[in-house]
Each structure stands twice: as C-alpha cells, then as structure tokens.
C-alpha cells in the first residue's frame, strides 16, 4: 500500500510479503498516475507489472504486484477484496492479517487455475498429435494402390472438411469421367453431398 507524504511523495505504508521490493520510481509513478482520484490502473513496464486502486477515503493506493505475464484485468476482483478490507480496519496489524489471508487465498485460486489451464493445454496438445497421426495413417492408406476409387474419396473427405473436384482428382488416380461417376453414386446413396454454390464435396453425416 502506498500513501502520500507531503515531503517525499509516495511512500510504502504496508506490504506483504515483507521482502517485497518496489522500486522508488515505480512508487512515485503509480502515486502520480492515480492523481488522488479513485481509479484502477494497470502498470506494465519492462521489469514491472502491477494493478492498483486509489482509495480516496483512506487516501491510499492499493498495489497488487503481478508476475511478468499476468493479465492485470484478471486480478481486479482480488484488488476489490483488498479495498474492502482497507475500509474495514484502521489497525495496521489487523489490516495486514486480512491482507495476508486474501493474498494466500487468491494465490491458491490462481495457482489452481493455472494448473487446470496447463492440464487442458496438455490434453489439447495430445489430441492434436492423435489427429495428426490419424491424418498421416489415412494419407498412407489413400496413397496405396489397394483401395477402390470410392473408398479413396471417402477417406479424403473424412480428413478434409470439403474438397473440389480438382482437389480430389489430384489425389485419386483415375479418369475424370469415372471420378464424376463414382461421386454421383456416392451422392445418390447420400454418403456425399455437393455444394453447388461453392462447387465443393463433403461427407454427409
């Protein structure tokens, strides 16, 4: 927390953890930026990232120091909780206890969030690898000479959302006439559909 001193300007009134270091130029910059008016400010510098709020009743700036890549907007709700506690307590010891409690709680919440995001990212990456492997397997099957034209077309449309006649023809070794005949049969059997406007084929499922 920063409060104004008529002689030296902005000064740290209370901080947690105790070993937290705030550069003097940052203290003054944050204090001046708020200009004694209630406002939220996100400060992003080369070696500094924080979100702050000026409490006009207490004439103090609450500063939440963030990691380099944290998004300040994500932490506004935590800052609001700090501000509520500031309005409740005048005793410095009680206030620090409450700030520590909220700090630890928010730390656990965001740590859990980051763990969930990391887990989901890992699962997405694994799914992408599985999709890639399946696509490669499909391509191997398509490139073999053991499939009928009908099967090759269905494999191609299974790994591609839609394809034009030319795109199919470049990957299926047959005459254009026979390819169109097979495609017409697949359309009649409602296995494949054709978008006349965009001239694209796609699987009907």
Q: In terms of DSSP bridges, do strands 2-5 and 48-55 run parallel, antiparallel, or are they unpaired?
A: unpaired
By the 8 A CB rule, do 187 and 193 touch?
Answer: yes
- Could you check whether 2-111 and 144-203 share the same CATH topology? no
**Sorting pLDDT into bands at 50, 70 and 90, what band is 201?**
very high
Residue where the block lists tokens 């380099």: 68
Number of Cβ within a 10 Å radius of residue 59: 10
Q: What is the pLDDT of residue 83?
A: 83
Topology, domain 2-111: Beta-Lactamase (3.30.450)
**Sorting pLDDT into bands at 50, 70 and 90, what band is 195?**
very high
Residue where the block lists tokens 């999709």: 131
Contacts of 21 (CB under 8 A, 6+ apart): none
Distances (CA, A) of 199 to 23, 163, 202: 63, 8, 10
Q: What is the pLDDT of residue 162?
A: 92
Domain range list for the chain? 2-111, 144-203
Q: What is the pLDDT of residue 107?
A: 67
Mark 164-184 as b/e (b = at least 16 C-beta within 10 Å): eeeebeeebeeeeeebeebbe
pTM summary value: 0.50
**Sorting pLDDT into bands at 50, 70 and 90, what band is 7?**
confident
Q: For 144-203, CATH number? A: 1.10.10.10
Alpha helices in the chain (DSSP H): 24-34, 76-88, 92-143, 149-159, 165-169, 176-188
pLDDT digits (tens, 9 = 90+) for 38-76: 889 998 888 889 889 998 888 889 888 888 878 888 888
């Amino acid at each position: 927390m920063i409060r104004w001193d008529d002689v030296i300007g902005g000064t740290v009134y209370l901080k947690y953890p105790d070993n937290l270091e705030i550069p003097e130029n940052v203290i003054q910059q944050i204090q001046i930026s708020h200009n004694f008016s209630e406002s939220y400010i996100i400060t992003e510098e080369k070696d500094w990232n924080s979100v702050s709020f000026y409490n006009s009743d207490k004439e103090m700036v609450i500063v939440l120091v963030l990691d380099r890549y944290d998004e300040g907007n994500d932490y506004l709700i935590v800052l609001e909780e700090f501000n509520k506690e500031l309005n409740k307590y005048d005793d410095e010891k009680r206030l620090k206890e409450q700030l520590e409690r909220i700090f630890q709680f928010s730390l656990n919440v965001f740590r859990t969030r980051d763990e969930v995001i990391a887990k989901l990212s890992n699962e997405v990456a694994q799914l992408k690898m599985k999709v890639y492997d399946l696509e490669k397997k499909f391509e191997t099957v398509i490139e073999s000479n053991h499939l009928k034209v009908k099967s090759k077309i269905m494999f191609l449309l299974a790994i591609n959302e839609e394809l034009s006649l030319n795109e199919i023809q470049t990957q299926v070794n047959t005459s254009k006439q026979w390819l169109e005949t097979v495609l017409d049969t697949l359309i009649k059997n409602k296995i494949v559909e054709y978008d006349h406007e965009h001239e694209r084929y796609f699987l009907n499922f």
